[in-house]
Structure 1
Amino acid sequence: MQAALLYHQPESEYAYLYAEDCLHLRLRVGKGQVAQVKVYYQEVFKTLEGTDYYSQTMTLWEQDRDFDYYQVAIANPPKRFEYYFVIEDLAGQTYLYNEVDLYPLAGPPSQADLRANKDGFKLPYLHWSDHYQAPDWAKDTVWYQIFPDRFKRSGKIPNRHHLQDWERDSRPDHDAFYGGDLKGIIQQLDYLQDLGITGLYLCPIFDSSSNHKYNTHDYFKIDPDFGTKEDLKELVTQAHQRGIKVILDAVFNHIGSQAPIWQDVIAKGKKSDYYDWFHINQLPVDKLRRLDDETMNYETFAFVPAMPKWKTTQPQARDYLLKVTQYWIQECDIDGWRLDVANEIDHGFWRAFHQACLALKPDFYIVGEVWHRSQPWLQGDQFHAVMNYPLQEIIEGLFMGLESNRSQWLDQLGRLRMTYRQSCSEAQFNLLDSHDTMRLFNKCGQNLALMQASLAFLFLQVGSPCIYYGTEIAMAGGDDPDCRRPMPWDFTDSDRQMQAFIQALISLRHSYNSLINQGHHHESLTSKGSLKLEIDQGPERLLAYFNLRDEALSLEEQSQSEPVFCQGYQAGTLTSYGFVVFAELNQ
């Protein structure tokens, strides 16, 4: 056994309270090098009194190319928690692993051996308030993302722009307006409820000159293109009556260059009350200028002149944005914020933001836009979740990538599950497309069966799944701005067939949400080219097969149960990109 491959860290995703009365411990070891792992634990001061250690055998929970990950759940753990790992390798040699080193033993440790060792891992005191906690409702939610200008035009909002014709397959350019609004969303809440949607994520709705509204002018005003504050209040109220939560998009990394605050800086320079609210390297700032190879006269989002970057470490700027944060919670009872370009804002601001939100609404949900692994933001004091683009990449690789790379994508899936605490993974915001990406239908080469299989796999993963508006009718669209076409409401027969599929998929998720989120997942590739997924929790089990090839295949194993959900499955055979899900009882 290679000692250098061992890893454990207290107060991390390797040792955390999953619930107030349940502690999770994990240990990473070299792949295929260990026969068994046990954890020995006790209350720190009881060990000094000679009390025996408890022990539990750990479960091989996850694997990737290089490592095996063992996990155990300890019910009602002592508050002052000391523990050791006892590892048996494949040759039968036993080792004691503590916070200092790995020691060979002649056999299983005696209680005297454990008490004599003073270097156990320690969790000095288990304060539930110190640990990651996400609102329970967020773990049960199926999300629906809306780009407001393109979802539904109510016909009740005065037009400020020339509006494009609302036509199926219309191809928008970056500056096009279509006239979707908040009243239009309200008109379609029954439609969303019928689909099974329990959460709405709205792209920005605050005052701005663009159709996307990511260049905010006034954070305290609903953009007139979309309606009024009263319209938002009605939307949230009506959604809540239907059991649907609502989260809004906050753009606190940058402001729109036409905002009065920034215009004051342009006009007054250092005499402006807002000069210190931004990253200004040299005046004037009437337009973006390059000072050298790396420096501009003012900082922006992605070198976009129209989006000057907030200095969120500046006390007055921070207070202003935190007032915005609380204003919309107090005024409209929103349920969460999605945070744009969240990884480019200082952690101190997000900690203050987290406290400001939860002070008003303890079950508030905070999700950041971070496209990479995100442990620093998911420790329990900043975000509850991020938009899970790493999972999106893995699913795309499995279903749309080269067959020869699929085992590598499964390795990455296992590694991703071990990146976060289980409680954190359950609250992740999982998606396959958005306003920033090519639409899923296009990613799948407009192959409907492949699209449906990808969605089914997403809905069987830990975390809260989200569909982008129009996915339920297999809307086409390339990269931005083509992924933002107007939603057609003159549904065709094929649209209704896809809607029925999405309804059934969402129903499956609602029926088995606890099993999917809390169960033990295991994926494997079969010799015939299918992907096998097993999810176990106690007596319950889900078993799914996905045909990853563009040809029919017969399953190598047969379930004794009837399918609870399938597409392209009959009598043990899956059609091209077909899949089947069985619910079973463990023997």
Structure 2
Amino acid sequence: MSSWEKRIDPVDGVAYTWDEMFSEYIKKFTRKKITKYWEEVCLPEKRKVPKGKSGAAATGKANLPKEQVQKGPAKALVQIMARREKDWRIGPIVYQVFVDRFAPPADFEQKKALYPEVGTTHKWDELPQGGHLVAEVGYYSNELAFWGGDFASMLSKMDHLKELGVDVLYLQPITECTSNHKYDTKDYMKVDAQYGTLDDFKKVVDTLHGASIKLVLDVVFNHCGKSSPLVQEALADKDSPKRNWFFFGDQYKQGFKTWGGAPSLVELALENKDLQNYLWNSKDSVLATWLGRGADGCRLDVASEIGLDILAKLKRAAHRHKKDSLVIGEVWAYPPQWTQAMDAVLSLHLGVVIYGLAE
């Protein structure tokens, strides 16, 4: 098996090989039924699965006792549907939106001054292209390519979201940044003007809540953008308290620790108590502010690189700021251990498996 094909204990008592799982998705996961039910199919942890010559699972039952191999609808579904009536965080249909690319803006020409001079703007029907490093700013050109979607254009698609049966709208980062993906936070408290104003954000909140849709925001606490005033203050003044919010030293190529080697992303020293207070712990923290503005939860970028103890503190703080808030973490590791520290995980491993099935 490849490293992506992690096996976990089944929650529904159903065991399938990969070929059978693909078959079940084709038969049952149809467009007409997508808003009515889903089915989760898992392989047991400590069981061998027959392999074909290619190393992938071969057609046929998994190597389980006959009485443990069943077919049918997920038994866990009944329990989940009953529990979600009491807690919106259990079993919702979550829809992810990258605002810049979700729906075309009403008047892109009028907005073009909002985009960086080193960036490029594109017509809605233009396809994204591969990028090259723009050395003077430390970004790749495809990170600086913009299509102009904003809060107003997103709300124009509300009927579409309702038709899909969306319970939770998850927005990729919306705070002020340089890049299009906005994982390089410049100002944690500001809405990026490319998407709209704080009043426009409040309209998003009111519109979604009026349609009984919850809002989850992507937050980036593992690192921030080099253009952030927090970073610039720390770079300019070695005696600044902000200096302890980052990792500086000659051992780093840039003079400071970056995330993933990207010169535009500066890693944060999350063990620092003052930084924790700024990001999530205090009543006027970044997290408390956005929950107070109407967000119902957060998705933590690269959560599995943050650490269980810190994540647990963050979750407790979120629930203190808003009792029924949802904390989801991006996890590139085996998920179960991480659910001790967060309400849920966004399992990228599972995503890779699903993409593989669709190929």
Q: TM-score range by the shorter chain?
A: 0.5 to 0.7
Q: Distance in 2 between matches of 1:211 and 1:359?
A: 32
Task: Spell out the pairing of 1:279-298 with structure 2 (5 A cutoff).
Answer: 279-282=247-250, 289-290=252-253, 297-298=255-256
- TM-score normalised according to structure 2 size: 0.67
Pick the aligned partner of 1:245 from 210, 214, 235: 214
Q: Distance in 2 between matches of 1:307 and 1:396?
A: 28
Secondary structure in 1 matching 2:217: strand
Q: Distance in 2 between matches of 1:177 and 1:196?
A: 29
Higher percent of residues as strand: 1
Instruction: Specify the code of the residue in structure 2 equivalent to 1:281.
Output: G
Q: Distance in 2 between matches of 1:199 and 1:150?
A: 19
Q: Distance in 1 between matches of 2:192 and 2:164?
A: 28
Task: Spell out the pairing of 1:145-294 with structure 2 (5 A cutoff).
Answer: 145-152=96-103, 153-155=105-107, 158-159=111-112, 160-161=114-115, 162-167=120-125, 169=127, 171=129, 173-268=142-237, 270-282=238-250, 289-290=252-253
Shift of 1:214: 0.5
Pick the aligned partner of 1:340 from 296, 301, 305: 301
Shift of 1:134: 12
Structure 1 residues 456-506: Cα deviation after superposition (integer angstroms, max 9, x where no partner): xxxxxxxxxxxxxxxxxxxxxxxxxxxxxxxxxxxxxxxxxxxxxxxxxxx
Larger radius of gyration: 1
Q: Distance in 2 between matches of 1:136 and 1:357?
A: 16
Q: Distance in 2 between matches of 1:280 and 1:201?
A: 34
Shift of 1:184: 1.3
Q: Distance in 2 between matches of 1:395 and 1:264?
A: 44
Higher percent of residues as helix: 2
Q: Distance in 1 between matches of 2:276 and 2:99?
A: 28
Shift of 1:238: 0.3
**What's the counterpart of residue 279 of structure 2?**
321
- TM-score normalised according to structure 1 size: 0.42
CA contact (8 A) 1:135 1:365 kept: no
Structure 1 residues 403-427: Cα deviation after superposition (integer angstroms, max 9, x where no partner): xxxxxxxxxxxxxxxxxxxxxxxxx
**What's the counterpart of residue 367 of structure 1?**
328
Pick the aligned partner of 1:66 from 25, 47, 52: 47
CA contact (8 A) 2:171 2:218 kept: yes
Instruction: Specify the code of the residue in structure 2 equivalent to 1:360.
Output: H
CA contact (8 A) 1:313 1:346 kept: no
Instruction: Specify the code of the residue in structure 2 equivalent to 1:278.
Output: F
Pick the aligned partner of 2:312 from 332, 351, 354: 351
Change (3 A) 1:150 1:375: same
**What's the counterpart of residue 103 of structure 1?**
none
Instruction: Specify the code of the residue in structure 1 equivalent to 2:219.
Output: A
CA contact (8 A) 1:134 1:363 kept: no
Task: Spell out the pairing of 1:421-570 with structure 2 (5 A cutoff).
Answer: 444=359
CA contact (8 A) 1:371 1:390 kept: yes
Change (3 A) 1:221 1:281: same
Secondary structure in 2 matching 1:387: strand
Structure 1 residues 377-401: Cα deviation after superposition (integer angstroms, max 9, x where no partner): 211xx2111112232344445x35x
Instruction: Specify the code of the residue in structure 1 equivalent to 2:154.
Output: I
Shift of 1:135: 7.7
Instruction: Specify the code of the residue in structure 1 equivalent to 2:204.
Output: L
Change (3 A) 1:212 1:394: closer
Secondary structure in 2 matching 1:139: coil
Change (3 A) 1:64 1:259: closer
Secondary structure in 1 matching 2:317: helix
Structure 1 residue runs without a partner (length 5+): 1-12, 19-25, 27-60, 68-89, 91-132, 283-287, 291-295, 401-443, 445-587
Shift of 1:330: 0.8
Q: Distance in 2 between matches of 1:136 and 1:149?
A: 31
Structure 1 residues 170-214: Cα deviation after superposition (integer angstroms, max 9, x where no partner): 547332111111111122112211222221111100011111110
Shift of 1:62: 7.2
Pick the aligned partner of 1:301 from 234, 250, 259: 259
Pick the aligned partner of 1:310 from 257, 268, 280: 268
Q: Distance in 2 between matches of 1:169 and 1:305?
A: 27
Instruction: Specify the code of the residue in structure 1 equivalent to 2:87.
Output: D
Q: Distance in 1 between matches of 2:86 and 2:270?
A: 26
Q: Distance in 2 between matches of 1:135 and 1:168?
A: 44
**What's the counterpart of residue 377 of structure 1?**
338
Instruction: Specify the code of the residue in structure 2 equivalent to 1:275.
Output: R
CA contact (8 A) 1:335 1:364 kept: yes
Change (3 A) 1:396 1:262: closer
Q: Distance in 2 between matches of 1:386 and 1:134?
A: 21
CA contact (8 A) 1:202 1:248 kept: yes
Change (3 A) 1:166 1:396: closer
Change (3 A) 1:141 1:305: same
Give the RMSD, CA atoms, in angstroms: 3.0
Q: Distance in 1 between matches of 2:306 and 2:154?
A: 31
**What's the counterpart of residue 96 of structure 1?**
none
Change (3 A) 1:154 1:349: farther
Secondary structure in 1 matching 2:161: helix
Shift of 1:63: 4.1
Q: Distance in 2 between matches of 1:175 and 1:347?
A: 33
Corresponding position: 1:330 with 2:292:
yes
Change (3 A) 1:62 1:265: closer
Change (3 A) 1:134 1:312: farther
Instruction: Specify the code of the residue in structure 2 equivalent to 1:276.
Output: N
Q: Distance in 2 between matches of 1:353 and 1:65?
A: 33
Pick the aligned partner of 1:139 from 90, 95, 108: 90
Change (3 A) 1:244 1:168: farther
Q: Distance in 2 between matches of 1:370 and 1:308?
A: 20
**What's the counterpart of residue 390 of structure 1?**
349
